[in-house]
Chain A
Amino acid sequence: MSATSRVVVVGAGTTGLAAARELLARGLDVDLVSLAPPRRSVVASSADAIAAARPDEGPEGIAAHFADSRRPGAGAIEDAALRALLASAPDLILRLDALGVPLSRDETGASVRRRGSGHRRDRLATAGPQTRRAVVEALDRALTVEARSGRSHLRRLEGWEVVAIVVDDRHDCAGVVAQDLRSMEIHAIAAGAVLLASGGFAAAWSTSSAAQGALGTATAAALRAGAVLADVDAVELAPLALVGFAKRHAISDALRTAGARVWAPKDPTDVRRGRDVPSKERRDLLGDIDREAEGLVAPAEAARALMRALYRDGVGVFDDKHGVLEPCAYIDLVHLGGALLPEARAEVTRIASITGIDLLAQPARIAPAVHATLGGLDVRFELGAGGELAVESEIHHSTSIPGLYAAGGAACAYHWVDRLPGQRLLTSLRGGEIAAASIALRCAREAATEAEAEAEAEAEAEAEAEAESEGSMLVALRAAETAARKDYGLLLARRGDDAARPLRDELGAALDTLVGLSVDPPELGQLESDIATIAARASATCDPQDGATSANRGAPAVRRLEAVSLLARAVTASARARQGDNNDGPSCKVLIRLEGDNLIVSREVRNEDEAR
């Protein structure tokens, strides 16, 4: 059977599940390749609500949502895409509700929305800290049911890692090469289209609050295959993340909405415990900007204010044990006296169970953290006649490689700058669905062309050309498979003085200075060469330190380090290109592609009358 009706979806999180379900419903076969089963992809803190205008608000509510979400400097296409995304949000809430996601309701059964920082209306629907889990479970079940209908075929490849994106000699995406992390076998998978729903790479930063696995291996593979990245230096910051643990634990926006205070002792040498500092000796760090905005400022703005205070103005909490001022502040809920909404209470319970800290009894130390990457694979959208987003188009969510699509955290699509609470789930779910619709259109067109070619088979040359194209796809896949097997063999045999863990720590610390999460000011030139050195060591002297023939953990870890250090190089190059920018903002899109081993940077101005 021809591969045109088969789609590889990389990643089984919210984006991948939503996309796979849509693809199956549209009659395409899906290979869902993921590092872990869907339920293991869940990180509670990553998204605990979905933002959408309430149905009773009508179009005006959507306009208001857009006004809150829009950032200056966006181009016409981005605006149209964001508008369409927000317009489809109320419907998404209804559908999630119908799938059994227990989104908040009151006693009468009516849907309840809460306020979130940066939102000027109540529009967050939530199922508490477990919202993302509930969404993943509901979609996973729905996907199984969709597959049972028998219209199309779903194959789940769980515990597989994509190591290469294959492009044939016509520059079309032909499929992927993936490795089973249990048996360590490497196979090529042919596909008419590939969707990267593999998330971002926020775990590259040391000060990250993301899951360990968020390293962008598939994104790096796409970059190597010739795809273009956009704005990879843009990150979403969680303003409040508990420090002093294996990673920074991001705290839900629900606590800030509930009235949490963020403060630091006025005296930077104060050695008292947080709860013993009297209130007049506390410096409120977010109160002023919130009052000025007449509401809670968006998380990104809060994070920037905190970073200015902690890393520039010398505010912090004195660590008596080590005799240094730690760049962190306190989050404080003690004054609320335990009067909390159920959601906020659930978040307090969650934090207590993972860290042992009872936020209602004592203030806890926090600092901003890198929560997610906002840049990623550059994807395109098509505008309709009226300047709105085209209703359906095979261009939506397409990358620079024909047949390769990206959505969710892997793509730079709707939010290349500050993102509001609840927008992340919306972006990933709708992004996945829209990308799936585009892929279905592409596959249908390809199938039609193929059928046409077959019908005209008497024209011998045509048939030959067709056979040739099919052949070129297979040749490319086989070559990529052989190359990947050889690379893996070489990697296993590699010996050197470096190990993946310490190198990753070095890389993470270097990246921290770049986003301002460090007292050291970024010196981009130096940083660029530091990161290039780390990347070179990762791919030359980093020893897997593991020779196991099954369930090998060392070699994949080195491979991920190689991938993430390539992305880190792209991040620095991107930041450097933006540095010379006068308006230093989102109005300029920084694009990056790889030629040989060199990153080629180009800039594109986002303007109001942009048209493609």
Chain B
Amino acid sequence: MKTSPNVQRLSLTEPIVQGASVAASLSWLPAPVLLIAVLCLWAFGPVASFESFGLMAVNTFLGYAVFNAVAAALIGRSFIEHRRPSLLLIGCGAVIWSCSGLVATLDGWGLLRRAVDINSLVTMHNCCTWVASYCHLAGVGLTLNWRVATQKPRVVLALAYALAGALAGIVVLAAYAGWLPTFFIPGEGGTLVRHFVLSSAAGMLALTTVMHICLNRRASPWLRWYINALILLAVGIIAILVQKVTGGCIGWVGRGAQSLGGLYLVVAALLSRDELLTEGTSLWQALSEMRQKWPVSLAIAAALVSLSAAGRLLFLSYLGARFPFATFYPAVLVAAAYGGLWPGLAATGLSVAIVFWIRISADIALGGDHFLALRVAYFVLICISLSWFWKGIHQLQKRAIEAEAEAGYASERAVAAEKLRETETRLRQSEQSFTTFVNTANEGVWVLETEGTTSYLNKRLAQIMERPKSEVVGRPAHEFVYPEDRPLFLQQLEILRRGSVSRYELRIPRKDGSVTWLHVSSAPLFDEEQRVRGSFAMCTDITTRKKMEEELLQLNSHLEQRVSERSAELWRLNVELESFCYSISHELRAPIARLDAFSRLVQEAVVEGHSEELPYLTQRIGVASGKMRVVIDSLLLVNRLSRAELHKEPVDLSQLARLIVDELRDEAPGREVLTRIESDLLASGDRAMLNICLRNLFENAFKYSGSKEVVSIRFGFQESSGAYFISDRGTGFDMDFSHRLFEPFSRLHHDAAFEGTGMGLTIVKRIVERHGGRVWAEGRPGEGATFFFTLEEGGCGDWYGLTGGGDEQAIAVAG
């Protein structure tokens, strides 16, 4: 179960964290109080001293060793989470301080047993303090933004803390081995070295504080506690520095301030874990970022100079007054390399000041230097040159970076330009395909402005309008619309202006006076602000469809007319048929009624004994039944003619007519018959039917010539009417009754004059009609009659072209 200890730990530290956050704003209070106390004690210093090894031990152990160890542990924990090397350095500082505290405590215990060199203790402690303060300064110099990407922060932490411990051990070893210069002389107080070390330590802590304040405008609770801790430590160091005796009041205040600083560090470390996890950067990015900030550059310069000064002091006893600037060259070089001209110059100035301070402080001991002015001038010249050189290097670097950025920008621009070109090409291609599509479309495309002016039309529409594009573009569109359709067109434009889609049919006048029908499907076009800026119309030529519709309509009405005509015709035929039926019934009833009457008279004659009447009556019965048979036969013939299939073949009518005439002569011997038959009258028709037709006509001519002594019949072809004709010089007829000639059972002469069924001409008419021709007659009473007939509609003379000379035959037939 891992969660429960977590919860427990949180519940334990949470109130402290809360309280610390609240108290952060007041944490600054003890530092100035203690500083004022130290200054007052130093100025009006009471000589009273209070030697207590127990209190000293408690102070060194608790205030130095324990507090700093706890702070180191807590900061280590924060490092594991945040992975910022600056935290690690702060932790290292705490470790070193803690180690020195621990050594001092142990030393204090040892002091009780045997006499220990006080100088070694002071040296060790002061050196550790200096190194620790250096760690703090380095921590702020490394920038809080740098995060390491390590996967094993615990290992890094352990290594760093081990290194810090080792460094502290080396310092302790050096101090106790006597490798370091004398720091403290009992009875006299601190040496120059101690003064420098402690004051530079206090200065570095103060510098760290200033830098933190400068770099972090909004101080978080942890940073407040940390800064105040650093201030308290600095105050403590100052107090230790100015104390004359170990057990003096100032010494105790200083030691108390240092312990309080240790406590503050613990609180700060506790809060550090709750810092927001901000985005981290790489070391080089962080460094170049820090270089832009002048306090950091200056702080680094100052730190380097103090390190050089410490080095120079270490070798003071060996070098004496010689080479006073020897250790300062690297400091200036690194400061200039890091920060450029101004940090370099600052380091130079600071170095010169420290060298003079060392000389003033140690002059008595070291003796005079006659070439000091030359040395200083040489140092300053070299350092200015170095700084200048590094400034140039920095500028080059900056330019290189700028050039790189410029190059990057240029390449980006080139890529962007390439992309733009590609996009343009695609756009052009798309536009091209659109143009092709519009121009090759079978539909007309018509683009109009809002007020109805044509802004574009495609090839097809120009073709439909029969006008060049230039004539239409820029002109009001309604000018090209059929005048009657203009109100409709303007109405549709109004609909489009309101933003609606419209579909309608429109007429466009053509040059030849006809119209083109268009089906128009149009939609409004909008601009970026959704206002109608025009319209787009697809126009389909539907003229053919319209024409077909009209034709269909006409055809329909024509069909209706034909149907009604046909109906009338059928009705007429029906009436005719009805009348024909009554005619037939009359024709059949009449002989039956006669038969009936005569047979009754026969009966009467037999009953009444008038046997002399019988021959006449029976003869009349025979006539009546014969008549009936003839009627029935003729009816059957008509029926057969109506139904029989027409077998068309070339027929020589002249030859046919001669044969018929010969037969008729045989039937009526003793009559003088004069015929004139045109030769080679060829026709196409049914031979059997045409035989019946001609026979009836010739019989007719014979019959009605019966009263004349000489029968004169002519058969020929009349070119003017395109009809065949048979004329006789017989009885003739009155033209008033010509319409009744061809009616069934109608006669123009009473039975007594000419025997017949009244069906002959009806049969002729039927045959002619079956051949698609027509028949008519002309005549005058007493002057003969002429019957005309054609076999094809419109005559047939042209077809055969046989109208030439007939052979006149005058055949006298002897009785």
Q: Please say whether chains A and B are actual partners in one complex.
A: no
